[in-house]
Chains A and B, each alone.
Chain A
């Protein structure tokens, strides 16, 4: 067999159609190998963007809105009473069995800022920036278990396999910094989010758009240094060889994933110099460390917040932080709404507020949209699993709270829940609506950013989503 025949035999039918009929691979190569890797804004913006970047503080596990934002005096008044039957008739809960009892918040609330927003004493730092944030009390979702709800909140679909918000942004508007990934994920807290990597996956979009996860401990990115004896110029020449050989294969096979891999190698090369500079927070002034509560070298939500600011300064489009552990059922004293919730607030409140304050001081808050929230809310009733004496709340998809700041978002309070916080009473905001609004602030019409897959045009918000006018 000649080399040519051998190569042909190695080609599958799928490749033939990909390269023969459409030639997607070769087309994609043109844009992917551009020096400004992901910077080609071919699809969007559709209108003038208000925000250039998003920092999404994902509180995985679902924080209790009723103990942080959504103050319900009625719950305290009727604490311990069985929940009215008509409210929970036909409801399914993740853990609650029988007729649960209402649970007033054990935490005290005060009004803050010009709009007089309720905040519990667990969020003293957020209270200091309350006039810069929009609190949305009327979020609701369709999922009541962690993994599907997290995947849904990130991709607008509860089953893994759809592109996440960050992937859509990378696909739609690219990233202005060609030396860093356009979508970075930073993890802190107990462990990985339940939804796993699908939360920042690229679904059916080319994998070049998926989130790149930095390690939170030790080196943020492994193997940034060349092996002993490989000088920077040697590495450059070897990557040139790699590129030429891969290109020859791409021309024949036409699989766009080959183009993605080629782009990954070029980005990896540039990250070898851009990442060490980015992640060295030790040279930040002392005042900054005090504001965030950061300690260089320690794995923490605070360090990740500071890193997020440094990434946004360098043009990273979408930074997503995950802090896991908010799942306060009250089955033990280590996961209740008294101690555990307070501990989580101590881990996150100061840095999240510092991030808003820091961005504002640097004039970056106008162009950076900060989002805070989890995958669903928690029940107005005490879970009391197996008669547990510790206070805790079950999963609650019908009403929860998120907050947004900057990027053209109008500060204030949006939405209301009923008097026990069970259902949304005013201005409901669905997960689709949230994403339509986030995309809008980034200059994207959520109905027009589409990708053809399996015979139809897909979009992030599927067939749903309304812009939340009160937020913009």
Chain B
């Protein structure tokens, strides 16, 4: 994260609960700003910023898809869906969607999510080594929900306040 000539300070990932605090609490070093925030056009803080311009770039897409901080959120969402909703796939799909988009999915949306989930569960059953990398217990179910959650967290409706 930091590669700075002025001191030996190293970036230390916060342990425990602090790891999940809001980005508001991220330590800002002006000479070496936090990269994900930069991708979302955080100002350099050298001058005041009157207006943030509207942006939408593929770099932002890569961040919300692949940045470990965001992918960890997908893992947590998957666990929450399994913990808080009954065993029925349809209900789980609807619950996950609603947690992200703050509305119930339309029937065709639910159908599409269920179909994707079932395909991924089947894939992870055939590729247990991939499943183990995403779910500590190697559960194809959890791995597949993680992937679906990753998608739900990347929906335009989730990311954009309309």
Partners in one complex: yes
Interface residues of A, Cβ cutoff 8 Å to B: 3-4, 6-7, 10-12, 15, 147, 160-161, 181, 191-192, 194, 196-198, 201, 207-208, 210, 212-213, 215, 217-218, 221-231, 234-235, 237-238, 240-242, 244-246, 248-250, 253, 255, 257-258, 260-262, 264-265, 267-268, 271-272
Q: How far apart are the CA atoms of A208 and B57 in the complex, in Å? A: 7
Q: Which residue of B lies closest to A244 (CB)?
A: B112
- A–B pairs, 14, beta carbons within 8 Å: A222-B67, A226-B66, A227-B68, A228-B133, A229-B132, A231-B130, A234-B123, A238-B120, A244-B112, A249-B155, A260-B56, A265-B58, A267-B61, A268-B58
Q: A213-B59, A230-B147 are in contact. Are A207 and B162 (CB under 8 A)?
A: no
A260 — nearest CB in chain B belongs to which residue? B56
The size class of the interface chain B forms with chain A is 35 or more
Which residues of A have CB within 8 Å of B58? 181, 212, 264-265, 267-268, 271
Any A CB within 8 A of the CB of B47: yes
Contact of B113 among A208, A237, A241 (CB under 8 A): A241
Are B107 and A229 in contact, CB atoms less than 8 angstroms apart? Answer: no
| A198 to B43 alpha-carbon distance, docked (Å) | 11
From B67, B134, B160, contact of A229 by CB (8 A): B134
Evaluate contact between A268 and B123: CB separation under 8 angstroms: no
Which residue of chain A lies nearest to B55 when distances are taken between CB atoms in the complex?
A207
A265 to B57, CA, bound (A): 8
Closest Cβ–Cβ distance, residue B75 to chain A (whole Å): 9
- What's the A-B contact tally at a CB cutoff of 8 Å? 161
Determine if B67 and A223 form an interchain contact, defined as CB atoms under 8 angstroms apart: yes
- Given A3-B106, A191-B46, A226-B66: A265 touches B162 (CB 8 Å cut-off): no
The answer on a CB contact under 8 Å between B130 and A229 is: yes
- The answer to whether A229 and B156 touch across the interface, beta carbons within 8 angstroms, is no
Which residues of chain B from 67 to 92 have a CB within 8 Å of any chain A CB? 67-68, 71
Contacts of B59 in A (CB 8 A): 212-213, 221-222, 268
CB distance from A428 to the nearest CB of B (A): 31
Give CA–CA (A240, B151) in the complex, Å: 10
Q: Mark B146-162, 1 if CB is under 8 A from A, else 0.
A: 01101100111101101
A residues near B155, Cβ cutoff 8 Å = 242, 245-246, 249
Known: A231-B127, A265-B61. A3 touches B56 (CB 8 A): no
Residues from chain B with Cβ under 8 Å of A12 in the complex? 162
- Inter-chain CA distance A253–B103, complex, in Å, is 14
CA of A116 to CA of B46, assembled, Å: 43
Contact assessment for A253 and B162 in the assembled complex, using a CB-CB cutoff below 8 Å: yes
**Closest residue of chain B to A213, judged by CB?**
B59
**Complex Cα distance A191/B31, Å?**
9
Shortest Cβ distance from residue B119 to the other chain A in the assembled complex, whole angstroms: 7
Report chain A residues within 8 Å CB of B147. Answer: 230, 234, 238
B60 at the interface (CB under 8 A from A): yes
Chain B: minimal CB distance from A233 (Å): 8
The answer to whether A238 and B150 touch (CB under 8 A), given A228-B134, A261-B156, is yes
Q: How far is the CB of A441 from chain B (nearest CB, A)?
A: 27
Residues of B within 8 A of A196 (CB): 43-44, 49
Chain A residues positioned under 8 Å from B162 (CB to CB)? 10-12, 15, 253, 255
* Residues in B whose Cβ lies below 8 Å from that of A210: 55-57
- In the bound assembly, the distance between CA atoms of A15 and B54 in angstroms comes to 17
Complex CA distance for A260 and B61, rounded to whole angstroms = 11
Residue pair A264, B130 in contact (C-beta under 8 Å)? no
B1 to A, closest residue via Cβ? A218
Instruction: Report whether B44 and A191 are in contact in the complex, using a CB–CB cutoff of 8 Å.
Output: yes
Contacting residues, chain B, for A4 (C-beta < 8 A)? 106
Of B44, B65, B119, which contacts A268 at CB under 8 A? B65
